Amino acid sequence: MSEEEEEEEYEFGPVLSIEFTLRSGETVSVRDSLDERADEMAVRRYAQVLIGQMGTDTVHSFAYWWGGDFYVDAVAMQEVAAISVSPAGPDDDEEADWDDWGGQGPQP
């Protein structure tokens, strides 16, 4: 299988899965969406903004539907010790369970 065929097999939509590990050891998992497909470069740009804000007074809020429930999460970047950002694949969420409600993730 060529790289091009493999890349086509793993097409992702605009939804991201983000995990923040706080200095306390607690993990906060949230969802956010991009204005574009969550390809490698888009995910890297998004993550780089978050990484640049680690240890600052910035607070990010995320509001979204997931699994039929509505969530609003906020993360104080000064408390973040580690970040993981990845595209949310088709197995992560059912399309009907996800509605973007204007999550206010990082803006470059």
Label residue 62 exposed, middle or buried (CB < 10 Å: 0-12, 13-18, 19+). Answer: buried
Alpha carbons 94 and 69: distance in angstroms, whole number: 13
pLDDT at position 80 is 97
pLDDT (tens place) for every residue of the chain, 108 residues total = 455 544 444 567 898 999 999 999 999 999 998 999 999 999 999 999 999 999 999 999 999 887 889 999 999 999 999 999 999 875 554 444 444 444 445 544
Element (H, E) at 1: none
Alpha carbons 73 and 28: distance in angstroms, whole number: 8
Instruction: Write down the pTM of the prediction.
Output: 0.73
Alpha carbons 60 and 11: distance in angstroms, whole number: 27
Can you read off the two tokens belonging to residue 55? Answer: 């240890």
